[in-house]
Structure 1
Amino acid sequence: MHIGGGPNDAATKEPIKLSVEPHFDAFRKCYPLVEGKGAGDFGIDLKIGKDGGKAKLSEPRTAMKGAAFKDCVVKVFEGIEFRKPKGGATVVSYSLRFTPASTP
């Protein structure tokens, strides 16, 4: 996670982290939609208003194949109610790493 135009310290990242982490299971449910099932990253830019709430999303990017996968991840981000950022309105570049589940 990278905060644009502000400090990239733990205190500044904390409200974003606490907003996204509860949705990790929803993101995991998108993985079966990947074509080819390889590992990879998904990045997106989030503009979060000074009071938090829904973020304005832009630049979703990934080398992972499958429009349904990309749409699923974007939909999860669209549903997140972000906490109030520490420094007012914030632009965040957020990345998630997807890997195949290990089997015993």
Structure 2
Amino acid sequence: MSAKSIINKELFTPHDEKMLAAVQVKRRTKKKIPFLATGGQGDYMTFICLSGNSILHSAADSVTSAVQKASQALNERGERLGRAEERTADMMNSAEQFAVTAHKLAMKHKC
């Protein structure tokens, strides 16, 4: 069994994740790295792995957040349009009342 298969089986599968990619990296360093069992100072090998669920959850969260923001913006716009429509109707009624009153006054002054 390859090292990538073992990493996937032991690290990702128990957490219901899928390893999308793994890259073996060789690094040289002059420092001692006590937490790695490399057999001494110098070269060591490690893997950098990419998990599927973390990316999918992050992408899903971003999409959900964007949809929520767009929905909120649409609701706010709808509220503003509703208020503008009410003000327009009020202004139209006021204009009609003004016209009726002006017409009555004009008729009284003619007589």
TM bucket (normalised to shorter chain) is: under 0.3
Task: Please say which structure displays the higher CA radius of gyration.
Answer: 2
Higher normalized helix content (fraction of residues): 2
Higher normalized strand content (fraction of residues): 1
Q: Comparing both chains, which one has the higher relative contact order based on Cα–Cα distances under 8 Å and sequence gaps of 6 or more?
A: 1
- After TM superposition, the score normalised by the length of structure 2 is 0.22
- After TM superposition, the score normalised by the length of structure 1 is 0.23
